Structure 1
């Protein structure tokens, strides 16, 4: 086992620059775990990385890789690692700003993974690590969403929004989703108490909410006017045409509230993945997969996410 299949691109550009190629299997370093990837998902930051909009992070050396989160099974374990065995089902995310999970193998430290939920397939599970940990950190840990509060999720049918709706309900909030008409029934099925059409509902005419979770990345100044006293705006997307904000989108997110903007890390660890597993196994959170693509169709997965209107995640299946 010297080389493996992986999604690559030799230049920055549109989805068509992506292709399935071969690269060396990662060498497991001391203290690491080699994971055979069953599936990975496509996240917004990867689109910007492929397009060259965050070159200050991704650099100019090619070929480059894509993919952040993954689900698979342990292939090798360093002797110093305890609690993991060959064959264990795991999921996780590569290190901050590191791309490369759309490949047959990844080598990671134990803190980057946890046992995957037993009640879903690994292909389904791959849709949740990035969006799930982002939503849980944003809503519970940073915005401090409490039972009985009013939550607005902007982009409620997407990869992160579909998770945020479910977690908002699990945390006891009254959830309003902002989405397209064609996705309104879908968002209600996720648990939203009401759904508003984003095309016909002016942001300036929205009610006031205790927490607003924005997955779109625009109109933050206007959205902040729709906060109730003490309200918090959680932003997980930024205007990619502004370089500083672009880096923020790739590396973290922000909470707006009480005249403050606080950035938080997009680099989750084992305990958070383990909590996410518990939410899934309790039935409080279910994977939402729009389309499953073979690795050879990685460009199609990127095109679909860029086109918008998806329900949940575009997933790349390796096994």
Structure 2
């Protein structure tokens, strides 16, 4: 089958479309014909070598962690059913014609949503739900600050924050201010603003990872900060300490969603509370360009890789 591969760690140019054997379907697994996958930040780190201590030096390696497609065979789903889902934490390879996964890594994709657009949501959507609903416990009427509001997680978090009844302030680039307002942000500000000018917030969602201390200081009494990105070892150390000490603790997590979370996301899409935001759809043969575009920044939503 066709799949996105790389033979060494490095820049986007190491990626290419190649062929690998079809997946061996284990008992109890579901075989899915992938229509599309999205490009996520963790895949950039896997490809450029920042995760090589975990991933090792056996090549070729594959990329892709989430997907949308149709069931070929397996328990719990009818053949032809439209599904979306993700690979287990630490696994890559959804940018390919087929994946074989456990049923608890899937749910039905939202009714009425085509599979290419559906592929923009599984990873980032479940991350936003976990961050705001489960970790921060965002409540109606609270003030939410979203850093990196035009990106994959950020663009969903803005929509989700409004659905949860919060007042949403979005930090983004000057070129995407109108874009995040269209997503529902009450206030949209250039990310270069001095944090000290922003006021107080009940919840801060940090998708950028730099200078976390400056944003933690914005939390009011009982405030919560959720971090999903880290830029330096010093920032990691600060966040670890902040998760233990002080009244305004920082929450952070590594996403590993299963069926219930994918189904919750599907329900939000079907209700109209959340919609997928696709920056660009790339063919599988242009996987290097998809990675390059995400690294360049200025993204509006997600870069999606069409397989079918």
TM-score computed with the length of structure 1 as normaliser:
0.92
How far did residue 236 of structure 1 move? Answer: 0.8
DSSP-derived class of the 1:284 partner: coil
1:216 is aligned to 2:208? yes
Query: How far has the Cα of 1:198 moved from its partner?
Result: 1.2
| Residue 292 of structure 2 corresponds to residue 310 of structure 1 | no
1:228 matched residue in structure 2? 220
> Relative to 1, partners in 2 of residues 1:189 and 1:61: Cα closer, same or farther, differing over 3 Å?
same
Per the TM alignment, residue 90 of structure 1 is displaced from its structure 2 partner at its CA by 0.2
Q: Which position in structure 1 is the counterpart of 2:139?
A: 146
- Aligned to 1:127, the other structure's residue is in SS state coil
| Other structure's SS at 1:102 match | coil
Instruction: Please name the residue that 2:8 is paired with.
Output: 11
Equivalent position of 1:242 in the other structure? 233
Q: Is the contact between residue 6 and residue 59 of structure 2 (CA under 8 Å) also seen in structure 1?
A: yes
State the SS of the aligned residue for 1:176.
strand
Corresponding residue for residue 66 of structure 2: 69
Task: Assess if the C-alpha contact under 8 Å between 1:231 and 1:257 holds in 2.
Answer: no
**How far 1:221 moved relative to its partner?**
1.0
Aligned to 1:283: 272
Match of 2:41 in 1: 44
- 2:17 maps to 1:20: yes
Cα deviation, residue 245, structure 1? 4.8
Corresponding residue for residue 155 of structure 2: 162
1: CA distance, partners of 2:85 / 2:63:
15
Q: CA deviation at 1:262?
A: 4.2
Equivalent-residue separation in structure 2 for 1:16 and 1:245 (angstroms):
29
Matched, 1:174 2:171: no
- Given the superposition, is the C-alpha separation of residues 11 and 197 from structure 1 closer, same or farther in structure 2, using an over 3 Å criterion? same
User: Aligned pair in 2 of structure 1 residues 245, 225: CA closer, same or farther (>3 Å)?
Assistant: closer
Equivalent residue, structure 2, for 1:251: none
Gaps of 5+ in 1: 249-253
Change (3 A) 1:114 1:257: farther
Distance 1:255 1:309 in 2: 34
Contact map agreement 1:233 1:256 (CA 8 A) in 2 = no
Q: Output one character per residue of 1:27-74: Cα deviation in whole Å (capped at 9) or x when no partner.
A: 110010000000000000100100000112211110000000000000
The whole-number CA distance in structure 2 between the counterparts of 1:166 and 1:56 is 36
Q: Distance in 2 between matches of 1:100 and 1:11?
A: 16
User: TM-score normalized by structure 2?
Assistant: 0.95
Contact 2:227 2:252 survives alignment (8 Å): no
**1:260 positional shift:** 3.6
Q: Does 1:268 align with 2:253?
A: no
Summarize the alignment of residues 178-193 of structure 1 with structure 2, pairs less than 5 Å apart: 178-193=171-186
Listed as ranges, the gaps of 5+ residues in structure 2 are none
Assess, with a 3 A threshold, how the Cα gap between structure 1 residues 55 and 242 changes in structure 2: closer, same or farther: farther
Return closer, same or farther for 1:291/1:164 CA change in 2, 3 Å cut-off.
same
Aligned-partner SS, 1:310: coil
